[in-house]
Chain A
Amino acid sequence: MRGARVALEMLKEHGVQVVFGHPGGAVLPLYDDLYDVGIRHILTRHEQNAAHMADGFARVLRQPGVCIATSGPGATNLVTGIATAYMDSSPVLAITGQVPTTVMGNDAFQEVDAFGMMMPIVKHNWRIEKADDIPRTFREAFYLCTHGRTAPVHIDLPLDVQREEVDPARIEQNHVPRKRPKRDLSRLLDAIRFIEEAESPVIMVGGGARWSQAGSDILRLAEMLQAPVVTTLMGKGSVPEDHPLVLGPVGMHGKMVATYVLNNCDTIIALGTRFSDRSTGKLSEFGRQQRIVHVDIDSSEVGKNVQHVVGLVGDVYTVAHALIAGLENRAMRRRSAWMDRVAALKQECNCNFNMSGRPILPQKIIWELNRLLPDDAIVTTEVGRHQMWAEHFFEVRQKRMFITSGGLGTMGFGFPAALGAKVAMPDRFVMDIAGDGSFQMTMKELATAKENDIRVGVLIFNDGYLGMVQQWQRMFYGERYSAVHLGSVPDFTKIADAYGLEAIRVEREGELPEAIVRAREADSTFLVDVAIDANEDMLPIMPPGKSAKEIILGPRCIWKGGATVANPVPARP
């Protein structure tokens, strides 16, 4: 059996039924064998989107998504998608073709050092030089991207290696992983002591909780400790947001109650978060009054951004259970004063965002989505103000999922990720919450949606601007608007029409519910293009490089700064 076929057999061995990709000269043997092998291939219109689709697929199923591109430009186009997956720890296997080993290094046609280029944005990558190494490498790649901290991996497969015959004995050979993930719970007793002594603990949940599916375990821990739960952008959706202890997202555009409680508690139990500057604000000001228990699967994250923590290395599910077991038989302190205070603070942040306006206010759109999307909807977002409105106001309850590019902040991620998510779970309704700027980056995949009959909804917050940049220029650069005006083109309904898809333009808020229901019930991918108020800022905002004390609330925010609450529990000195 030749190398290309063995590579595809390895995919099948690991349960891969769908791959996303774009063929080219250096992957022709692979695509030739794909013809016979029984794996569904989704042809994208750009390699970057193949990576985003594999990423969306992986985030929904928590299994590796596979994308394939050719050498040279195929590989360079993959880079943005793979970096996006890397920053959000998504297990994607990227396969790139490469020029034959005989001409490698000669600047051959479509040659690029994909192996070197991918190194900083994958957990590991391989350039296979002998076909006999294909079985071992693919098995290692699947093992590596799904064990320990999930992450993308990359295999560079030269053309001659794809054509070379593989020794059958090598295909049968058992795989022994080179490295196994390690746990370190040696400081568990310190962590338990900190938690026991806490007057006002908070559980901060990051993306790691979602990858280890530890939502119900975190809620059990929270109920046991009587501790509120706040989430980072990546942690949103790991715990149901209609639970009374869940306060919502923290950070730059988080809920005031969540950010306030996180910064005014005395102990933070951080589960699967890397303390991104977008979550913490100014790092030197963060966590100075708090004791911090930091749980992360990746030992290099412990003490990286926030120092002086009690670090527990392991996946959130395992460590949460270890904490529950350690705390179970102890007399738990009653934290009724803290609970009462948190409940009162939550009331102070309970604004009514069912706002009327013309042009339509973006908050209103999210309010309608909360109401009209099913309880198992998968929502993806692009990057910008619409993403932050969705983070702030969209309620991820029951089986809903929220998928976004948190780490890299890749505009254009949401639509292909939505297509990947729909391929992964065809029975669920998937909606991409998009901005007009972001959507234009990857809207060519409407063709992929049409050709492969992938049905998702796209709701565009259309303000004719690169909204977030425009807002920052308004707030921080003296209203000197530079290169942010997108104008009124294109007409997205005509774009949809050109791809043989349906769309509707919404300019009055009364038309919104019907449009969303039409998107939900459509037989094909459906666009809802909503004209929104370009002057409506995403507030509150913790300005970049500033701490939680310097949050700008804005005129609509009802938060009184915790002032209405009597008997505050003091932070630990």
Chain B
Amino acid sequence: MQILSLLVHDDWGVMQRLAGVFTRKRISIDTILAGKCEKPGCARVILASEHPNFSKMVEHLRRVHDVIEVEYMENSAEAFALVRTPDGRKRVTGTRDEVDAALAKEDGAAYVKSYGAL
């Protein structure tokens, strides 16, 4: 799993601009994590994908005026999942493999999973 970690200005349309870059390059993003961060007026956006050209997107993302920093990370993904089981909701965290293994055991329960790294 490859990760792009971005620091961006928290302005109108920033997600639309980022998504547009990937749409044009025909790359599907597996995970989007976005939220406020330690810098006022800024946000972090973590994108994960297994597409072979994902790493080449660094310079294209740097072109986006709202993007302050882009960092590329490979195979360092932490994962998080929220699962709805018959016993109620469950949170799973750990390395990518650990979370994937835990989800495999859930036997078709609804879940949402995201990869991320900082």
Asked if A300 and B24 make an inter-chain contact with CB atoms under 8 angstroms apart, the answer reads no
Contact among B9, B17, B63, B65 with A298 in the assembled complex (CB-CB below 8 Å): B63
Contacts of A120 in B (CB 8 A): 20, 24
Q: Mark A377-420 against chain B: 1 for CB-CB distance below 8 A, else 0.
A: 00000000000000000000000000000000000000000000
Contacts of A124 in B (CB 8 A): 65-66
Asked if B13 and A178 make an inter-chain contact with CB atoms under 8 angstroms apart, the answer reads no
**Taking the complex as formed, is B75 at the interface, i.e. its CB lies under 8 A from any CB of chain A?**
no
Contacts of B12 in A (CB 8 A): 115, 127, 129
Asked if B65 and A119 make an inter-chain contact with CB atoms under 8 angstroms apart, the answer reads no
Q: What bracket does the count of chain A residues touching chain B fall in? A: 10 to 19
Contact among A116, A123, A144, A299 with B62 in the assembled complex (CB-CB below 8 Å): A299
Q: Mark A265-300 against chain B: 1 for CB-CB distance below 8 A, else 0.
A: 000000000000000000000000000000000111
**Given A144-B65, A300-B62, 4 other A-B residues pairs in contact with their CB atoms under 8 A:** A120-B24, A124-B65, A124-B66, A127-B12
Contacts of B20 in A (CB 8 A): 119-120
Contact among B16, B59, B60, B65 with A179 in the assembled complex (CB-CB below 8 Å): B65
Q: Mark B51-94 against chain A: 1 for CB-CB distance below 8 A, else 0.
A: 00000100110110110000000000000000000000000000
Closest to A302 in B: B59
Closest to B63 in A: A300
**Nearest Cβ distance between residue A230 and chain B, in whole angstroms?**
26
Q: Mark A117-146 against chain B: 1 for CB-CB distance below 8 A, else 0.
A: 001100110010100000000000000100
Asked if A300 and B17 make an inter-chain contact with CB atoms under 8 angstroms apart, the answer reads no
**Nearest Cβ distance between residue A90 and chain B, in whole angstroms?**
17
Asked if B13 and A300 make an inter-chain contact with CB atoms under 8 angstroms apart, the answer reads no
Residue pairs across A and B with Cβ atoms less than 8 A apart, 18 shown, are: A115-B12, A116-B16, A119-B13, A119-B16, A119-B17, A120-B24, A124-B65, A124-B66, A127-B12, A144-B65, A178-B9, A178-B65, A179-B65, A299-B63, A300-B59, A300-B60, A300-B62, A300-B63
Binding site for B on A (CB under 8 A): 115-116, 119-120, 123-124, 127, 129, 144, 178-179, 298-300, 302-303
Residue of A178, A298, A299, A300 with highest tally of chain B CB at under 10 A: A300
Contacts of A129 in B (CB 8 A): 12
The answer for the CA separation of A178 and B63 in the assembled complex, in Å, is 13
Asked if A115 and B13 make an inter-chain contact with CB atoms under 8 angstroms apart, the answer reads yes
Contacts of B13 in A (CB 8 A): 115-116, 119, 127
**Nearest Cβ distance between residue B15 and chain A, in whole angstroms?**
11
The answer for the CA separation of A252 and B8 in the assembled complex, in Å, is 41
**Nearest Cβ distance between residue A445 and chain B, in whole angstroms?**
32
The answer for the CA separation of A119 and B24 in the assembled complex, in Å, is 12
Contacts of A303 in B (CB 8 A): 56
Asked if A299 and B65 make an inter-chain contact with CB atoms under 8 angstroms apart, the answer reads no
Closest to A120 in B: B20
A119-B16, A123-B65 given as contacts; is B9 within 8 A of A299 (CB)? no
The answer for the CA separation of A178 and B65 in the assembled complex, in Å, is 8
**Nearest Cβ distance between residue B39 and chain A, in whole angstroms?**
14
